[in-house]
Amino acid sequence: MYKCLDQEEWNTFFKTYLSGKVKEIWESVFTMCNLFDDIANEIAPKKINVTYNQLEENNSLEVFKRCKLITKRCK
């Protein structure tokens, strides 16, 4: 992925994570997405009386998956 970003963008990207390992970063992203989904599905209907938009979540997750594939191609 570093080949797709300039040095400043690359440095900024890594400041957002404790680990500098790409595999761990993607694991973090998908772990957080799953955690958000679990919590949102629990809270939305019971605590704030709204319907959680599962389609929007699925589409957002698909964007992350596509970005992950792009990073593999940039190596």
Q: Which tens digits make up the pLDDT trace of 12-31? A: 767 666 677 888 888 888 88
Q: What is the tally of structural domains in the chain?
A: 1
Residue 1 forms part of a structural domain: no
Residue whose pair of structure tokens reads 């929007």 in the numeric block: 56
Q: Look at 49 and 19; give whichever has higher pLDDT.
A: 49
pTM: 0.66
- Average confidence (pLDDT) over 42-47: 82
What range does the domain containing 13 cover?
A: 7-73
Residue 47 forms part of a structural domain: yes
Residues constituting the chain: 75
Q: What is the DSSP letter of 65?
A: H
How many other CB atoms are there within 10 angstroms of residue 25's CB atom? Answer: 19
